[in-house]
């Protein structure tokens, strides 16, 4: 759940049609989020990527 991984996931999401501006914002604030929220965000993005890759 490091920043590099989050960056990779968001990049893949953008390729699948996600909003680049929105995801850039999340990347920008990621390091300042509480750990619990970082984990929630990571799960959220990863699950979205997996779901979009299936459709």
Partner 1 sequence: MNRVENEQNPNRAETVPPREGAEVSAVEQHRELQQLFENYKGEKIDAVNTETQTVLQSPNKRLEAATSIGYTPEQIEQFKQEQGIDNKLDQSRQQIEALGVDTRTRIESAKTSEVVAETQPVQTEQTENQAEREKTVEQFQEKRGNILTNVLTSEITSNGLDLVPFAGSGKMVVESITGKTLAGKKMTGKERIIHGAMGAGSLALDFTGIGEAKDMAIIAGKSVGLVEKVGVKLAEKGSVKGARIFLATSKFMSEHPQLTARAEQFAEAQIQQQIKDIRDYRKQAA
Which run of H or of E encompasses 4?
A: helix 3-15
Can you state the percent helix, strand and coil of the chain, rounding each to 5? 80, 0, 20
Q: Which is nearer to partner 1, 4 or 21 (CB)?
A: 21
Nearer to partner 1, 2 or 32 (CB): 32
> Which of 7/51 has CB closer to partner 1?
51
Tell me which residues in 3-42 interact with partner 1 (CB under 8 A).
16-19, 21-23, 25-26, 28-29, 32-34, 37, 40-41
């Amino acid at each position: 759940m490091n920043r590099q991984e989050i960056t990779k996931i968001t990049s893949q999401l953008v390729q699948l049609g996600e909003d680049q501006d929105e995801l850039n914002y999340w990347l920008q604030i990621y390091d300042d989020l509480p750990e619990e929220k970082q984990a929630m965000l990571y799960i959220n993005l990863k699950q979205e990527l997996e779901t979009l890759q299936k459709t």
